């Protein structure tokens, strides 16, 4: 009997989801999709991501029809089928049949569960209140500090932004003239596209007219304001969007990252965009610049909690236990970057985190350690006044720009060393 259409993608999506139980992120497992046709690769990735984004809502629906929780693999399958029908609009008959076939393929326990899966999903298909269910909550270790900092209403708005997912943002190379159907300019200068698109097929990709970069991430370099000919170190540089921005501004960039593999991706994008930078595989804590620098960009390793809307697997992989260690590393990197600055030199510190201890508190502590540093409040087009903290940092959250599709969560601060 022929396989139902989409079975390969569904099976691959289930493998991606089950991999989280072994501590593997969706991106860690991306190579496993390469044996599939391109369309199935994209579909599997989307099914897995959307299932994780709506997992709690799916469980709330399933609980109405299950007397007890099923085996993990069967629960994954029920969640995926629920999301495919109720969120993605999959035809119930085809989704249910595919789920039953996939359940039978799980072995003896799957054979025994197939009838239950069929019965439950037929009931799920008739559920009418899916859109009224609340968004998936942040895990407690993250929700508590977010709510304590910005309040319950903002926390709910952040959770809604995570549920909505992320559009595709592009940073244009200065002077590039490219027209992309459906792209709209954002107030801060990025271009935004909604819906799933094949990036490499978009106009201007082959010519290197732009690169993919969330609008929030693009603000770190804009805040640094690189000038032609300036010598700038980009510390912890991969995946490289900020390196490309610095090089496109005409700066002499040294991009430092501890991962050779990630720097190889930076090199590929530099070549595609006909830009140049010196790439150095080294620990930023050990690396020493050759000669004086004008500025330093430090996009420090962090919890990445600001990127959940595009990485819905993150809440299922982290428990908050590593935050203290990350904060300690960030402080050491700040001290190292400050030591590279000449008198009058400037730096930008950035983390894609929602946690104040990786942002506001980190900079407050750095200013206390370095009396010769001062913070310079942002003055950029498109910046809303409420994004600027009382101390002069830039706090970006996923619930900002709700009418435009949100943004990643970031903290960014520009610092100047006394001259």
The helix (H) or strand (E) run that includes residue 60 is helix 55-62
The secondary structure of residue 3, as a DSSP letter, is: P
- Those residues whose C-beta lies under 8 Å from the C-beta of residue 52, and which sit 6 or more positions away, are 17, 20, 26, 312, 313, 316
Tell me the three state secondary structure of residue 189: coil
The residue written with tokens 């497992």 in the block is: 29
259: which 2 tokens?
């991962």
- Those residues whose C-beta lies under 8 Å from the C-beta of residue 171, and which sit 6 or more positions away, are 189, 190, 191, 210, 211, 212, 213, 218, 241, 244, 245
Q: Residues 328-345, buried b or exposed e (16+ Cβ, 10 A)?
A: ebbeebbebbbebbeeeb
> Rounded to the nearest 5°, which phi and psi values hold at 114?
-60, -40
Q: Beta strands of 89-190 (E only): which ranges?
A: 168-172, 184-185
DSSP H helical segments within 151-259, as ranges? 152-164, 215-224, 241-248
The helix (H) or strand (E) run that includes residue 148 is helix 140-150
> Rounded to the nearest 5°, which phi and psi values hold at 146?
-65, -45
- Smallest CA-to-CA distance from 404 within 128, 102, 252, 187 is with 187
> Does residue 273 have an active-site annotation?
no
Distance CA 349, CA 356 (A): 13
276: which 2 tokens?
């140049």
Question: Which positions are annotated as active-site residues?
Answer: 352
């Amino acid at each position: 009997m022929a396989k139902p259409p989409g079975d390969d993608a569904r099976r691959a999506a289930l493998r991606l989801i089950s991999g989280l139980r072994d501590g593997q992120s969706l991106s860690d497992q991306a190579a496993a999709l390469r044996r599939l046709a391109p369309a199935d690769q994209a579909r599997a990735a989307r099914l897995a991501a959307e299932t994780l984004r709506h997992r709690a809502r799916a469980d709330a629906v399933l609980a109405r029809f299950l007397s007890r929780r099923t085996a993990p693999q069967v629960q994954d399958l029920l969640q995926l089928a629920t999301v495919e029908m109720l969120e993605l609009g999959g035809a119930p008959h085809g989704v249910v049949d595919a789920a039953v076939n996939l359940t039978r393929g799980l072995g003896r326990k799957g054979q025994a569960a197939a009838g239950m899966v069929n019965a439950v999903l037929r009931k799920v298909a008739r559920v009418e209140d899916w859109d009224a269910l609340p968004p998936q909550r942040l895990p407690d270790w993250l929700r508590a500090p977010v709510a304590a900092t910005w309040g319950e209403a903002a926390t709910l708005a952040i959770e809604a932004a995570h549920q909505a997912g992320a559009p595709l943002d592009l940073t244009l190379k200065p002077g590039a003239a490219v027209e992309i159907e459906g792209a709209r300019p954002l107030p801060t200068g990025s271009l935004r596209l909604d819906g799933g698109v094949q990036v490499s097929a978009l106009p201007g990709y082959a010519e290197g007219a732009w690169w993919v970069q969330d609008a929030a991430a693009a603000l770190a370099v804009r805040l640094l304001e690189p000038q032609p000919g300036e010598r700038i170190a980009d510390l912890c540089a991969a995946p490289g969007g900020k390196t490309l921005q610095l090089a496109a501004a005409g700066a002499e960039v040294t991009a430092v990252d501890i991962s050779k593999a990630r720097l190889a991706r930076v090199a590929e994008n530099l070549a595609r965009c006909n830009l140049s930078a010196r790439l150095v595989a080294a620990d930023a804590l050990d690396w020493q610049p050759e000669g004086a620098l004008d500025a330093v960009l430090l996009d420090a390793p962090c919890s990445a909690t600001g990127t959940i809307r595009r990485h819905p697997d993150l809440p299922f992989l982290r428990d908050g236990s590593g935050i203290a260690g990350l904060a300690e590393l960030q402080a050491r990197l700040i001290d190292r970057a400050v030591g590279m600055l000449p008198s009058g030199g400037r730096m930008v510190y950035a983390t894609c985190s929602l946690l104040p201890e990786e942002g506001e508190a980190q900079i407050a502590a750095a200013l206390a350690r370095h009396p010769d540093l001062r913070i310079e409040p942002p003055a950029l087009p498109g910046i809303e006044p409420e994004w600027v903290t009382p101390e002069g940092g830039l706090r970006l959250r996923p619930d900002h720009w709700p009418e435009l599709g949100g943004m990643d969560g970031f903290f960014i601060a520009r610092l100047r060393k006394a001259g």
